[in-house]
Amino acid sequence: MSRLFEALQKSEPELSFDFPLAMQLTDELLKAAETESPQKQSEEFETRPRGKQDSALVPELAQQFPSVPLTVKPDVRLVCLTQKDSLAAEKFRFLAVRLRQLQQSRSLKKLLVTSTIPEEGKSMISANLALSLARKKRQRILLVEGDLRRPTLYQSFGLRSLPGVSEWLKSGSSEVTNVYRFEEAGLWFFPAGSLPGNPMELLQSARLAELMEQLAVWFDWIVIDSPPILPLADTSVWSRLADGILLVAREGTTRKRELQRGLDTLDHSKLLGMVLNSSDSTDQSNYYQRYGPAQSAAQAKTE
């Protein structure tokens, strides 16, 4: 993260801003979280404060919402499903551990993932982060496709267009429907649904706040894939309902002026940090040398 900001500031030194938190994680933290004893997980689940309703446990949610098959195409970068032992998947596990650590010291359940402009990879980040959070047993993770104008997540999971957020907001019903379960991934998914004629008006209705309030009772984490900040005002609605915000930037694509404008529109009290996508600084050979079997380094050179 710091390299990106240093590069941007060198290119345009007349601009500066204060960024709140760097994602600094350690191997020990990841290892401790991944090897946490089942007894400790069970105790944590039983003693966790419930919402204002004595709500559904995991088996009840599994019965309430239908399961759908999960099919990932080879060109879709869901590394937390297709390459679980890769360096990229490990980075998402680092991020998930850090977020759980933050959750212990602040109210953090509804997490908004956004970017300044399109094509910075926020949907890919949202999906992999949700999948990584779902690795922890006895936690209920919901991924919400919050971009009602250009939804793409449902295709990444190999789904056809299904009723989702749009249909629920228009229905007038108080019963929460259109949530689907990826059983093999331990993840729930709330798709955007059909493209509405007036997405901003639909999002601004009081029903969206009611929906998120109910979902927050059922789930331990709600990851919201929102539209980019700059072209649309939709993200401002989602950000008001979120507890924390992650901003995605793509190295070589994100421009400082756009990033500054995007930051200016966000509530900095909710801004947790930045995820740097497409970084070219990763030392792959060092990674395989430290974590992989001996033949992995040779395999890495051919991939």
For residue 150, which of 115, 177, 188 has the smallest C-alpha distance?
Answer: 115
Predicted confidence at residue 40, as pLDDT, reads 47
Q: What is the mean pLDDT of the chain?
A: 76
**pLDDT, position 281:** 55
In the chain, where the domains are located: 2-26+58-288
How far is the C-alpha of 22 from the C-alpha of 140, rounded, in Å? 26
The residue-averaged pLDDT of 139-151 equals 93
pLDDT given at position 138: 78
For residue 202, report the phi and psi dihedrals to the nearest 5 degrees: -65, -45
Q: How far is CA 12 from CA 15, 18, 257, 260, in A?
A: 6, 15, 9, 11
Q: What is the pLDDT of residues 199-236, one digit of tens each?
A: 899 999 899 999 999 999 999 999 999 999 887 788 88
Find out whether 185 and 156 touch, Cβ atoms under 8 Å. no
pTM to 2 decimal places: 0.76
Q: Which CATH superfamily is domain 2-26+58-288 in?
A: P-loop containing nucleotide triphosphate hydrolases (3.40.50.300)
Residue 178 confidence (pLDDT) above 80: yes
Model pLDDT, residue 98: 93
- Read off the pLDDT of each residue in 149-171 and give the average, rounded to a whole number: 92
